[in-house]
């Protein structure tokens, strides 16, 4: 991890807790730490309930009540986000940190023309807005995201646009105030395959031209791997593996990452008769547990005959090969995915 210069976003021991009972809480995000450098695309991957969206919301300061956010450090350009007043934080949202939601249509107001509501972003944030200037900037942003016919699209209502165009409008709105950090929450999940590829490419090109940093959240490792420099894998509220995309994808270290890669069908791996599955379901986070959260589903745990350290202590993230971190007591021992058919180590052709 970089230490010499201050990263754009620095997250240390971020936890988000909700009350489980009057005297007890449970964490939906637990001691999550990562950095986002300038111009970096970081992929945040996990299944439903793993805490990836909640992590994004805590960066925005938008965790719903009664959730509580705590961290030893949650700083953006060196400013402590948790210490900011709500007005100051509101100022930061949109102008410096922008959210690109999954549901573009839901994010757009159905009764306003898309150009007008996009221009409102500028009007809301600028002290002395002039409508003509706002309009010109919106058209420029529409061109930047390759929205076809920006002038006529400006006057369209959201429902008149295709899903891909709606997503482009939302991305354009996110870019208007030249943010430094884009938080993209499943931005392509609702889109068709060919459009999804376009939107990913658009995000990659925005990074090239503007040097903006992006946190790309998705449930699909392969999608994230297409444009991310680094990948963070979340499971049961924790980061279980992080590292450069190539290293994580070609030689995943944590048993969960390996199982996740093996369970997803691909276009290039040899076709097997059955897919290696991950048995069981993620743990109930409301039940407290001293040990590794993955052990009930972990082939290594089973192979080793339920070693006591997996039961008694939650493994911390620690360095493994190729600049990666993994949270597993047995990561160095290089066990194959036992009983899982193919090992997802060779996704490179």
Determine, following the binding rule CB under 8 A, whether residue 281 of this chain makes contact with another protein. Answer: yes
Determine, following the binding rule CB under 8 A, whether residue 197 of this chain makes contact with another protein. Answer: yes
Determine, following the binding rule CB under 8 A, whether residue 321 of this chain makes contact with another protein. Answer: no
Among 201, 322, 333, 334, binds another protein (CB under 8 A): 201
Three-state secondary structure call for residue 332: helix
For another protein, the closer CB: 6 or 302: 302
The stretch among 29-37, 81-89, 117-125, 243-251 that binds another protein (CB under 8 A) is 243-251
Binding characters for another protein, 148-167, by CB under 8 A (x = yes)? x-----------x-xxxx--
Site for another protein in 175-194 (CB under 8 A): 192-194
Q: Least distance in Å: CB of 90 to another protein?
A: 34
Among 274, 288, 290, 308, binds another protein (CB under 8 A): 274
Determine, following the binding rule CB under 8 A, whether residue 266 of this chain makes contact with another protein. Answer: yes
Site for another protein in 86-105 (CB under 8 A): none
For another protein, the closer CB: 162 or 312: 162
How far apart, in whole angstroms, are the C-alpha atoms of residue 13 and residue 108? 34
Among 25, 198, 342, 345, binds another protein (CB under 8 A): 198
Instruction: Give long-range contacts, CB 8 A cutoff, 24+ apart: 275-280.
Output: 275/341, 276/337, 276/340, 276/341, 276/342, 276/344, 277/340
Binding characters for another protein, 120-139, by CB under 8 A (x = yes)? --------------------
Which residues have a Cβ under 8 Å from the Cβ of 287 and sit 6 or more positions away?
none
How far apart, in whole angstroms, are the C-alpha atoms of residue 51 and residue 57? 10
The token pair at 312 is 């008694």
Determine, following the binding rule CB under 8 A, whether residue 249 of this chain makes contact with another protein. Answer: yes
Q: Exposure string (b/e) for 248-259, b if CB count within 10 Å is 16 or more? A: bbbbbbbbbbbb
Q: Least distance in Å: CB of 130 to another protein?
A: 30
CB atoms within 10 A of CB 284: 10
For another protein, the closer CB: 135 or 198: 198
How far apart, in whole angstroms, are the C-alpha atoms of residue 228 and residue 43? 5
Determine, following the binding rule CB under 8 A, whether residue 245 of this chain makes contact with another protein. Answer: yes
How far apart, in whole angstroms, are the C-alpha atoms of residue 273 and residue 239? 31
The token pair at 122 is 């500028």
CA distance readout (Å), 202 to 144, 154, 168, 188, 311: 9, 20, 9, 11, 45
Among 32, 74, 239, 278, binds another protein (CB under 8 A): 278
Q: Least distance in Å: CB of 272 to another protein?
A: 8
Binding characters for another protein, 223-242, by CB under 8 A (x = yes)? x-xx----------------
Backbone phi and psi for residue 338, each to the nearest 5 degrees, phi listed first: -65, 135
Determine, following the binding rule CB under 8 A, whether residue 205 of this chain makes contact with another protein. Answer: no
How far apart, in whole angstroms, are the C-alpha atoms of residue 34 and residue 245? 15
How far apart, in whole angstroms, are the C-alpha atoms of residue 320 and residue 279? 26
Among 7, 276, 299, 315, binds another protein (CB under 8 A): 276
CB atoms within 10 A of CB 202: 20
For another protein, the closer CB: 133 or 263: 263
Interaction site with another protein (CB under 8 A): 47-48, 148, 160, 162-165, 192-198, 200-201, 219-223, 225-226, 245-246, 249-250, 259-261, 263-269, 271, 273-278, 281, 347-349
């Amino acid at each position: 991890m970089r230490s010499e210069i201050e990263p754009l976003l620095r997250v240390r021991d971020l936890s988000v807790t909700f009350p489980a009972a009057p005297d007890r809480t449970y964490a939906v995000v637990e001691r999550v730490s990562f950095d986002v450098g300038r111009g970096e695309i970081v992929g945040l991957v996990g299944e439903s309930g793993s805490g990836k969206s909640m992590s994004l919301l805590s960066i925005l300061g938008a965790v719903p009540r009664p959730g509580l956010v705590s961290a030893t450090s949650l700083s953006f350009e060196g400013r402590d986000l948790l210490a900011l007043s709500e007005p100051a934080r509101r100022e930061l949202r949109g102008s410096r940190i922008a959210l690109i939601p999954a549901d573009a249509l839901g994010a757009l107001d159905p009764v306003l023309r898309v150009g007008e509501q996009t221009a409102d972003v500028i009007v809301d944030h600028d002290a002395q807005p002039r409508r003509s200037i706002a309009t010109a900037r919106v058209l420029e942003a529409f061109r930047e995201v390759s929205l076809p016919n920006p002038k006529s699209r400006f006057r369209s209502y959201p429902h008149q646009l295709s899903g891909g165009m709606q997503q482009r409008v939302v991305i354009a709105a996110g870019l208007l105030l030249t943010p430094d950090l884009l938080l993209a929450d499943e931005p392509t999940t609702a889109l068709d395959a060919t459009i999804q590829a376009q939107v990913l490419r658009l995000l990659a090109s925005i990074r090239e031209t503007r040097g903006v940093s992006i946190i790309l959240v998705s449930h699909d490792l392969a999608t994230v791997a297409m444009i991310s420099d680094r990948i963070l894998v979340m499971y049961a509220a924790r980061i279980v593996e992080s590292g450069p995309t190539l290293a994580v994808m070609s030689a995943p270290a944590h048993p969960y990452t390996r199982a996740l890669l093996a369970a997803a069908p691909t276009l290039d791996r040899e076709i097997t008769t059955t897919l290696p599955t991950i048995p069981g379901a993620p743990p109930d986070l409301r039940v407290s547990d001293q040990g590794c959260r993955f052990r009930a589903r972990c082939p290594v745990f089973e192979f080793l005959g339920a070693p006591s350290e997996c039961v008694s202590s939650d493994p911390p993230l620690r360095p493994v090969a190729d600049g990666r971190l993994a949270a597993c007591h047995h990561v160095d021992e290089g066990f194959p995915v036992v009983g899982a058919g193919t090992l997802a180590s060779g996704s490179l052709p």
